[in-house]
Amino acid sequence: MIQPRNRGIAQSRPWSRRAWLRVAGLGSLTGGVAAAQGAVGGQVAPALATMPDHRGSAMGPVGRVSTDSFDPTRFLRAWNFSDLPSDERARVYRETPRADGTMLREYELFAVDRDIEIAPGVFFQAWTYNGQVPGPTIRATAGDHLRINFTNQGSHPHTLHFHGWHEPAMDGSLPAHQVLPGESFLYEFDADPFGVHLYHCHANPLKRHVHKGLYGAFIIDPPATSARPPADELVMVLNAFDTNFDAENEVYAANTVASFYVQEPIRVQVGQLVRMYVVNLTEFDLINSMHLHGMFFDVFRTGTSMTASESTDTIMLCQGERAILETTFRYPGDFMFHAHQSEFAELGWMGLFRAEAPSAG
């Protein structure tokens, strides 16, 4: 219905992953780090000059994705539509304090079909919540009451299926729960338990509805009396895209855009606690993972405990599994993070943290 702007990729003609890689211009890792660092420092790394044959194998894609409709950097630190100007935010989110100190949080979520750019020049005919993949991050405090008015403006039946405690009528999973195109449904439940959760469409066929982009992160903070320590908080949804409908993914990412954080490293401060809310929503592949270079992090599985269960540098997550990761950067500089399945990393699930020393002033 909507014509993809880049017709070369989304055709029915079978593409091997390698052929796809060539077209999309995704390169391998070697040389790319040097190139990235060289560019930052304003000088070309000497190794590159003597290895001209490797110059083309830059890390990440050639070119840039437009951030007009979705900016992965803003997405990292946005929840409850905090990335919108106040007048636009008021159209989709309201909070009302309640007598017992908790909050009533009201949301307007809608499903809509949209062409999104997942790698430079590669457009994916997505099904989205509120026009973006991942959908907007929903965040509440344990005990809050959530009211989510869901409108289906898409071309297929959809639902909202939240993880967490709720009544069966609010589950958005059975055939009777389907919200048909042009219809609405009001989901209502309390925020319970605290942790990092998710929401997604549960209409059939489930794998198609999930993989098309209908998912997002759902964070429930512990009650204020036992809040987590202050930190620089980041939302990372691990996802992937099947661009040729062969039930295999061709593009992988943290937060949709292949290798975005290679080109735009995530800025963090040395010595400041960094808290990552990581949710795996990759379809078709059994597992996904996240590996962070040069350090270890504490793992809070599902975020339902205040005590870390392990300290590691690589975490494995099946679909729907999630965790809070906490670390504090010791050294300034660039630190790679990526799936420890190398194939995923080379197909876009790769990024950099750029740690900066606190300014002396």
Q: Provide the binding-site residues for another protein, judged by CB under 8 A.
A: 1-3, 66, 68-69, 87-88, 91, 110, 112-117, 123, 131, 151, 153, 155, 182, 184
Q: How far apart are CA 76 and CA 138, in angstroms?
A: 13
Q: Which stretch binds Cu ion (CB under 5 A): 46-54, 99-107, 132-140, 200-208?
A: 200-208
Contact between 158 and 209 (Cβ < 8 Å): yes
Closer CB to another protein, 66 or 96, in the complex: 66
One of 133, 203, 236, 355 touching Cu ion (CB under 5 A): 203
- Least separation in angstroms between residue 203's CB and another protein is 18
Closer CB to another protein, 154 or 351, in the complex: 154
Give which of another protein, Cu ion, none residue 73 binds (C-beta under 5 to 8 Å, depending on kind): none
Give which of another protein, Cu ion, none residue 87 binds (C-beta under 5 to 8 Å, depending on kind): another protein
- Least separation in angstroms between residue 132's CB and another protein is 10
Give which of Cu ion, another protein, none residue 69 binds (C-beta under 5 to 8 Å, depending on kind): another protein
One character per residue 119-158, x = contact with Cu ion (rule: CB under 5 A): ---------------------------------------x
Give which of Cu ion, another protein, none residue 155 binds (C-beta under 5 to 8 Å, depending on kind): another protein
Closer CB to Cu ion, 152 or 243, in the complex: 152
Token pair belonging to 85: 């100007």
Q: Give the number of other Cβ atoms within 10 Å of residue 91's Cβ.
A: 10
Tell me, by CB under 5 A, how many residues bind Cu ion. 5
Using alpha carbons, list the distances in angstroms from residue 347 to 179, 194, 283: 34, 33, 15
Give which of Cu ion, another protein, none residue 212 binds (C-beta under 5 to 8 Å, depending on kind): none
Q: How far apart are CA 124 and CA 5, in angstroms?
A: 10
209 binds Cu ion (CB under 5 A): yes
Q: Which of residues 158-177 bind Cu ion (CB under 5 A)?
A: 158
Token pair belonging to 72: 């992965």
Give which of Cu ion, another protein, none residue 158 binds (C-beta under 5 to 8 Å, depending on kind): Cu ion
Q: Which helix (H) or strand (E) holds 305?
A: none
201 binds Cu ion (CB under 5 A): yes
Closer CB to another protein, 115 or 188, in the complex: 115
Closer CB to another protein, 116 or 292, in the complex: 116
Concatenating the DSSP letter of every residue in 243-286 gives: SSSSSS-SEEEESSSTTHHHHSPEEEETTSEEEEEEEE---SSS
Contact between 190 and 144 (Cβ < 8 Å): yes
Closer CB to another protein, 114 or 202, in the complex: 114
- Least separation in angstroms between residue 81's CB and another protein is 12
Token pair belonging to 4: 């993809």
Give which of Cu ion, another protein, none residue 342 binds (C-beta under 5 to 8 Å, depending on kind): none
**Strand pairing class (350-356; 333-338):** antiparallel
3-state SS record for 68-113: CCCCHHHHHCCCCCCCCCHHHHHHHEEEEECCCCCEEEEEEEEEEE
Give which of another protein, Cu ion, none residue 83 binds (C-beta under 5 to 8 Å, depending on kind): none
Amino acid at 65: V
Using alpha carbons, list the distances in angstroms from residue 250 to 37, 149, 306, 340: 27, 34, 37, 17
Question: Cα 168–166–141 angle (5° rounding)?
Answer: 165
- Least separation in angstroms between residue 129's CB and Cu ion is 10
The residues that touch Cu ion, with contacts defined as CB under 5 A, are: 158, 201, 203, 209, 214
